Chains A and B, each alone.
Chain A
């Protein structure tokens, strides 16, 4: 279906037009133009719900690099539909919110361009079927989120936060790329669907597990799982709408998506089960522990997001147990974890999105997010308070909010896993998971209460606030209110979500189980008086006590000094890296061109010449060479004379002219060998570069002969002669040995294939047009590089732009 493919590109296309519209409108109303894009996409995607819920899937291929198996294939099924609806739906609300949230003085054009770019890349990630295309979009989300986090780039913290998130997620992405390539070499396909269909044959390969771990690395870094979670709190330097969008609803869930998408591929493996579940559970726990200690509301939400992502991740891990040993009536009960994961995914997007917006409103209205300065805002911001209560009670897992339902299912899943006897799951380890999960839930309850009660109840301290508190404008409240409505609505009608959204997604995660009984359980708010409900009661009781007596036990956080954290480890590594590379760069970047040439030449001599000597397997065969004519001898001798004369040139002009003698002689040589294209190019390039040289040297100081010692001269002589020898020997070897068929055979039917009689041009324009295209791009970048280096020099007063 072409619609899905177009849906990916619409945000990018819209992004191109935003600057032009912004130039005309130039006010905060630009957002109203932008919001059309996600709303339309949401409606279009929503119109697919009836068909997809009946099990229909859509696929569309646009040929791209067909010869390498890389095609732009989009695949639309239940799983990508959920994510697509979240991205466009929450995206619309976030844009609506930012129209009122961001002030007119901000660079709004830039903001919306980044946001649309991000939206398009996210849609690309979830709709691509081809691994390479998926990877491209994956890294595009990293780049666009980098730009969004660094939106206030004049702040040092924003820049370092953006750098951190980019470093971590991109390195994870590169690992994932390696995993994809391994998977391709194993299965011979880049298509996720094809890999899923044939994966059974490859599970015994030795590279199967490394590929899995590398792909998980990408998923874990993106989804801020322990120990890669450290970038998420720093990413909170972004404007709040960005945090609401990227760091709760979409980007961080790309990793979750990847895990869900690859569950049919790797889910049957014990390593997958343990890694995903273990990392998820620990992240859940660690995030909730750290969330309680935060005093900044946004930091609190950041850690809570980490924790909730861990929860979803662990559920996918638990759910993968069903795939071990194939389909059976017993294994279906483990699929419930995956169901809970998908359910919680939706719920988390609704309540966390609302909470981020609430925090943004508080920040916007009173000017601080520090909970030590906040308090008593309930009567001043009543609507905001209501939304905050709905969001945080849902996060804590209390009825009547959707978080309660998925939380109960989570408890049920961790309890079920104790019965699992595959993978040598002993009773000790099996019981550890529910215990950790329960403890984490207690802490979740504590920080949820902290969030809402520390802000809105207690004593109002107007003198400690920057602004006089009053309720936000209606426009700013609409978006979180809509999300809050979903929070409540899903609680009362969970089975609508289950039937239309979750059941097709379940079929996508468990292709072998399609149509199995119990794959889509009935969700009910009251599920009897059983262990999960007891656990919830325990959470409320213990969590309530812990919240009330927080100031008595908060001291335990200061036991471990701050510098032991992972964050300081990262900072230490980065600063060491900076110091090391500064030292290294200072050592070899002397500022003398001749030194750089020496490095290059020595490297060349050692690798190529050394390689030749090392292998010793070279031979020179001159028997097939044609006779050298008298013309060629003359040209060669002219060239030799010119090159020797350069060494003894007394002035710069002489040197340049002698150099161009060399260049023109090569052109004549091309003429002699009947290569008119090359000769023409050489002549013109030589002309233009000579002019350029003369121009450059016009501005240079007087040519002064350097006073070199004899040993230095000898050393340079040796290097020069060795380079010459290596090149000559190499050329002779290449001439005498033919290991492969000549490439010219490939171009013999150029006229039939490309319709051109000029073979050079058919190569440039047809056979290797991709090379030419990229060369043009490189040329352009080089030109812009020269321009910026020469023209855009910072003035003397501009040096302290860096740190503010």
Chain B
């Protein structure tokens, strides 16, 4: 698609960062507040989709030189892999655990293995959504 819209491009440059930040915030806060891996991933991918729509694919690809198929594959492996982690400690498959730590900057923080699982979900969502959109839009 050939789009040459200065206002849209300028706004996008700023908005994308807000969306990305919001996506990460959603992803991290998911355990206690609305959010989580799936929504976080979707928000992140909507930011990428916006970028791809406003600029052309080559330009975006220079800035984000990732293979999104690989990201999706990595996400799936991460999600399945965290399940295996609990097996090593003798707990049933996919058992999650959490505990509080006193970190230097953040103060007392809860670290949970669910975050890893959710990260896998988020990465898969980002990878798959962008892969689908890209492969359809490149197919002329």
In the complex the two chains form, what is the Cα distance from A456 to B114 in whole Å?
A: 67
Partner of A787, one of B37, B49, B132: B132
**Are the CB atoms of A783 and B131 closer together than 8 Å?**
yes
Closest to B120 in A: A776
Set A62, A677, A760, A790: member contacting B135, Cβ < 8 A: A790
Partner of B133, one of A66, A692, A758, A770: A692
Say whether B55 faces chain A, with CB atoms less than 8 Å apart: no
In this assembly, does B76 line the interface, its C-beta being within 8 Å of a C-beta of chain A? yes
Q: Can you name the residue of chain B whose Cβ is closest to the Cβ of A787?
A: B135
Chain B, 10-38, contact with A by CB distance < 8 Å: what is the 0/1 string?
00000000000000001000111111111
Q: Are A783 and B39 in contact (CB-based, < 8 A)?
A: no
**A758 B136 Cβ-Cβ under 8 A:** no
What's the tally of chain B residues with a CB closer than 8 Å to chain A?
55
A755–B115 Cα distance when bound, in Å, is 12
| Secondary structure call for the A interface | helix
**Listed residue (B33, B49, B132) with the most chain A CB atoms within 10 angstroms of its CB:** B132
Q: Which of A668-684 contact B (CB under 8 A)?
A: 676-677, 680-681, 684
Tally of A-B Cβ pairs under 8 angstroms? 154
What residues of B have a CB within 8 angstroms of the CB of A688 in the complex?
A: 42, 45-46, 49, 129, 133
Chain B 67-81 interface mask (CB, 8 Å, partner A; 1/0): 001001101100110
- How many angstroms between the C-alpha atoms of A699 and B139 in the bound complex? 9
Q: How many angstroms from the CA of A320 to the CA of B132 in the assembled complex?
A: 59
> Which one of B80, B90, B96 lies within 8 Å of A62 (CB-CB)?
B90
* A62 to B95 alpha-carbon distance, docked (Å): 13
A545 contacts partner chain B, Cβ-Cβ < 8 Å: no
Q: Which residue of B lies closest to A71 (CB)?
A: B92
Contact B132 A684 (CB under 8 A): no
Residue in chain B with minimal CB distance to A679: B34
State in angstroms the CA–CA spacing of A147 and B131 once bound together. 29
Q: Is A64 an interface residue (CB 8 A)?
A: yes
Task: Tell me if A271 is interfacial: C-beta within 8 Å of chain B.
Answer: no
Q: Is A766 an interface residue (CB 8 A)?
A: yes
Chain B residue numbers with a CB within 8 Å of A786 are 131-132, 135-136
Q: Find residues 93-140 in chain B having any chain A CB closer than 8 Å to their own CB.
A: 93-94, 96, 98, 110, 112, 114, 117-118, 120-121, 124-125, 127-129, 131-133, 135-140
Residues of A within 8 A of B129 (CB): 688, 783
Give which listed residue, B34, B94, B112, contacts A769 with CB less than 8 A: B94
Interface residues of A in 764-786 (CB under 8 A from B): 764-766, 769-770, 772-773, 776-777, 779-780, 782-784, 786
B1 near A: Cβ within 8 Å?
Answer: yes
Give bound CA distance, A523 to B120, whole Å.
Answer: 60
- A757 sits at the interface (CB 8 A): yes
CB-CB nearest in chain B for A780 = B76
Contact residues in A for B8 (Cβ distance below 8 Å): none
Flag if A783 contacts B72 (CB, 8 Å): yes
Closest to B131 in A: A783
Q: How far is the CA of A681 from the CA of B117 in the complex (A)?
A: 18
Give the residue name and chain of the B residue nearest to A784 (CB).
B69
A65 adjacent to chain B (CB < 8 Å): yes
Residues of B near A691 (CB, < 8 A) are 49, 53, 133
Q: A776-B120, A790-B135, A791-B139 are in contact. Are A677 and B80 (CB under 8 A)?
A: no
B72–A765 touching, CB < 8 Å: no
Q: Judge whether A684 and B43 touch: CB under 8 Å.
A: yes
- A780 near B39 (CB under 8 angstroms)? no
Q: Is B39 a contact of A684 with CB atoms below 8 Å?
A: yes
Q: Which residues of B contact A684 (CB under 8 A)?
A: 39, 42-43, 46
**Given A688-B49, A762-B31, 16 further pairs, Cβ under 8 A:** A688-B133, A691-B49, A692-B136, A696-B136, A699-B136, A756-B32, A756-B112, A761-B30, A765-B117, A773-B80, A773-B83, A776-B124, A779-B124, A780-B124, A780-B127, A784-B69
- The 7 closest A-B CB pairs, nearest first, are A783-B128, A676-B34, A765-B114, A757-B32, A684-B42, A790-B135, A63-B92
- A–B complex contacts, Cβ < 8 Å, 24 sampled: A63-B87, A63-B92, A676-B34, A677-B34, A677-B39, A680-B26, A685-B42, A696-B136, A754-B114, A755-B98, A755-B112, A757-B33, A758-B32, A765-B114, A766-B114, A769-B94, A776-B120, A777-B76, A780-B76, A780-B124, A783-B127, A783-B129, A784-B69, A787-B135
